[in-house]
Each structure stands twice: as structure tokens, then as C-alpha cells.
Amino acid sequence: MSGHSKWHSIKHQKAVTDARRGQLFTKLTREIIVAVRNGGPNPDTNISLRLAVQKARDASMPSDNIERAIKRASGATEGVNLVEIVLEGYGPGGGAILVEALSDNRNRTIQAVRNVFSRGGGSLGEAGCVAWQFDPKGVVTVRSEEMDTEELALQAIDAGAEDVTVEASVVEVYTRPEELEKVRAALEQENIPVASAELSMVPKAALELGEKAAVQTLRLMEKLDELDDVRHVSSNVDFSDEVLAKYQE
């Protein structure tokens, strides 16, 4: 799971810029709208909305923006019709890549994703070609500076976590999807600073690639993530510290 952890950290670092944050807010607004339309505007009875709102708060999205998104989605005729799309493909070197998107134009989104795969040295595949290599998980991210990571891991396991990974100053806690909120709440009750909590597709096993192919895969994933319609990008590639250093040069 370490590749997932490092990719998540890269996304978080890049999202702090104003331009990336504005794009992130647009994506989070779409997630809130879809959650409301699928399950209603009450977070107490709509778990998808509750998670979407919490994710928006984790990203420091203003409360007014969140409320506007819920009200917009609650309108009978206002807004666009967004559909959820999952696309699958292969990166340079054969790494599996899973792309989750929200779109008001399926054909446009598929073409945009296909173009990024092609330009990045990968290829868009058929439905089901790589999805079997991933499991849905809850992922709680903790910034662990000046924290005892071993004690943190034990607390997470006690709270119901299935697995914990430590990468530099980031600890990722993996849960069953239905246990995500419970584990997050338990950690916060112990005054552990949770940076984010979300549902994600996590690889069952990691794939090691050569440095060149791994760096190319990271660049491809970043380009996919920059597409307006894309919500999440997951891969089974394990990115080493050397690959991250090369990528960030």
C-alpha cells in the first residue's frame, strides 16, 4: 500500500497552491452534488454526503461553498446531470491505473482520459481489465510530526483499522469502507490530528517498476488528476523514495 500513500502525499502537497485548490473545490462541489442527488440533503441520513462534506472541510473548503453546493443539488431543476464513471488502463511499464470521474458528458470525459493515457505512454483498457487488482477501503491520513507512530498505529488498530502504513511524516490508516467514520472519530477523540478521511481504491499488491517507467507513471497520474472531471486516480505501482526524488526534480 506504500505506493498509494506516497501518491496521496504528492496530491496533498500540490493541492496547497491556489490554482490547484480552486480546481479541488470544483471537484469537491461535484461530489457533494452527486451525494445529495443520490441520497438527499441530510448528512445525518446520507453517509455519502457526510463523507463528501467532511472531505471538503478537510480541504479547508469554506462552509458557504459547502452549503451552496447542497442547496444547488437540492433544487429540482438547477444544475447539471452528473454521472459517475470508472475507467481502467495501464501506465508505462504495465502498472494498473484506475480513474474515477464525475461528468456531465461521458464521451468527452472518456476521450480526455484516453488522450492523457496516450500522451503519457499508457493505454486505456476495457472495463474490468484492472479493477480486480483493487479493493475499496477507507483511508484516514494523519500528519505525524512529533508523534509516536508506533503508538498511533496501535491506537488505530484498537479503533478498528485493518492496516497502517508510515511514510516519512504521513501515517495512513486503512479501514473497511463501513468503518471509516468510526475509526476517524476514535482517532480524533484521542486528539490525533486527522488530515483527511476518504473512501479510496487501494491495490491488493504493489508492482515494482524501473525508475524511468515509475516516474512516467507518476507524471501520467498527475496529468489524469488534473482533468476537471477526474475525482480519484489509483495505481498499484510502488514508488520508491528514489523515484519520488527524480519525479520532483
Regions in the chain scoring below 50 on pLDDT: 76-77
Give the three-class secondary structure for 172: strand
Using only C-alpha atoms, what is the Rg of the chain?
Answer: 18
Same fold for the pair 83-132+206-247 and 133-203: yes
Domain residue spans in the chain?
2-74, 83-132+206-247, 133-203
CATH topology of domain 83-132+206-247: Alpha-Beta Plaits (3.30.70)
pTM of the entire predicted model: 0.81
pLDDT value of residue 78: 52
Q: Tell me which CATH code domain 2-74 carries.
A: 1.10.10.200
Q: What's the sign of the alpha-carbon dihedral 54, 59, 64, 68? A: negative
pLDDT value of residue 88: 97
pLDDT value of residue 8: 63
Q: Of all residues in the chain, what percent carry a pLDDT higher than 90?
A: 35
pLDDT value of residue 223: 92
> Does residue 235 contact residue 209 with C-beta atoms inside 8 Å?
no
pLDDT value of residue 7: 61
